[in-house]
Amino acid sequence: MQMINAFEGASAAQSLPTDLKERIARRSRLLGPAYRLFYREPLHIVRGAGVWLYDVQGRKYLDAYNNVPVVGHCHQEVVAALTNQAAILNTHTRYVHDAVLNYAENLLQHFPQELSHVMFTCTGSEANDLGMRIAKHSTGGTGFVVSSFAYHGATEAVSALSPSLGYNLGPAPAHVRLVPPPDAYRGSSDVGQAFAAGVKAAVDDLAKHGHRVAGLLFDTVFSSDGILTHPIGMIDAAVDVVRAAGGLYMADEVQAGFARTGETFWGFQRHGRIPDIVSMGKPMGNGHPIAGLVMRPDIVAGFAKASRYFNTFGGNPVSSQVAQAVLTVIERDGLQAQVTQVGAYLVQRLKQLATRNECIGDVRGAGLYIGVDMVKDRQSKTPSPQIADAVVNGLRERGVLISACGAGANVLKIRPPLVFENKHVDILLDTLDETLASVAN
């Protein structure tokens, strides 16, 4: 399956600057054929600060894409936490250390009290992978239901739950069912009931084929599916369905978590049900590799009887201090409230822009996770991946970074660091306005 916004490789490289061409060839020689770069003309970034990235020529780019550096690129307090602890001690969780305990306690305070255990990994992939193992032990089931263009990670087990990567060897694996995500723009009028009906059919079909459902796993803003955030409560009926069948509600917060959605600290909190397992990752360490899993104690009891858990680097003192610094900055600087305010302004300006651009079919999202659905026309709502691609690359040429998502590759994905301000929204929107004018002509 083609990756959205990927550099197309050797054939596209002809027109690039010589030093970039050489580096791309070197990448290919060293890292092999499975790696992908972004953009028609890939970026050679050498420095980052706040919401800005700088390329090797010193040109600056407004970063409206990267959700990992959640408190801004190279945040001084996060770097200081990293530096200080790395110089003192970096071991692992088989010795007692207060940093992992203090962070665990502070992190769990952001969850409903029934979600009271946390386990640490290095990546979101590992977190979802561990979640799958725990769900299977807890339920005795083996089946999983995911949305039809889901992405949950890159291990063998979670790549099987990531149809957006493509099932290139055939259909979805026998223990996996794909369901249409809750889509209020193109879907039925009762989005929640339609989603629940899809989950019900999937759970029944899994059972018919010998796979009792272990879990319904979804990204709580359905980012790879095209950023689907409304109406509030749209996932509740589906959660009830999977629970009635003995499966767990597994919320993937790798994309939506850590105040990204503004209204709430976690994406799942925008809806009505409390998950059984919550995975998190990307922004947790502002780029430092730390991720984790939060769950109810009864969920992990079966797994712990059958297996112990150890991750050499997961929850080490350095990672814990870095993650604590990120959490402290989010809290102390009131980033959740800022996200709500700036996100609302971003949506308002996008909707204004939509009044003058027929190719904008829909503006949706929560906080600073915003999707702009590019269409051929508003009547048919036919996705326009061409316009989306032209806009993404047009913005990049003009010094603003976003990408696209969705099964139709047509939804602009706007997902900046949470320290984004109204003045950055203005730069983004003015540049988008200019780009759209150029694309339309």
Quick one: how far is CA 328 from the chain centroid? Answer: 21
Q: How far is the CB of 157 from a copy of itself (least distance, A)?
A: 4
Q: How far is the CB of 323 from a copy of itself (least distance, A)?
A: 12
Give the burial class of 96: count Cβ atoms within 10 A of its Cβ; 0-12 exposed, 13-18 middle, 19 or more buried.
exposed
Do the Cβ atoms of 236 and 269 come closer than 8 Å? no
Q: How far is the CB of 231 from a copy of itself (least distance, A)?
A: 30
* CA proximity to 256, closest of 373, 371, 397, 113: 371
Q: How far is the CB of 272 from a copy of itself (least distance, A)?
A: 26
Residue (39 or 185) nearer to a copy of itself, CB = 39
Whole-angstrom CA distances from 350 to 118, 143, 217, 364, 427 are 38, 40, 31, 10, 12
The rounded distance, in Å, linking the Cα atoms of 230 and 222 is 11
Strand-by-strand arrangement of the 369-374 sheet = 360-366, 369-374, 411-414, 403-405
Structure tokens at 211: 């796979």
Residue (30 or 171) nearer to a copy of itself, CB = 30
Do the Cβ atoms of 400 and 364 come closer than 8 Å? no
Residue (71 or 347) nearer to a copy of itself, CB = 71
Quick one: how far is CA 4 from the chain centroid? Answer: 15
Q: How far is the CB of 399 from a copy of itself (least distance, A)?
A: 14
Residue (298 or 358) nearer to a copy of itself, CB = 298
Residue (135 or 436) nearer to a copy of itself, CB = 135
The rounded distance, in Å, linking the Cα atoms of 235 and 196 is 7
Residue (87 or 332) nearer to a copy of itself, CB = 87
Q: How far is the CB of 375 from a copy of itself (least distance, A)?
A: 27
Residue (132 or 360) nearer to a copy of itself, CB = 132
Q: How far is the CB of 79 from a copy of itself (least distance, A)?
A: 5
Whole-angstrom CA distances from 143 to 205, 226, 254 are 10, 24, 22
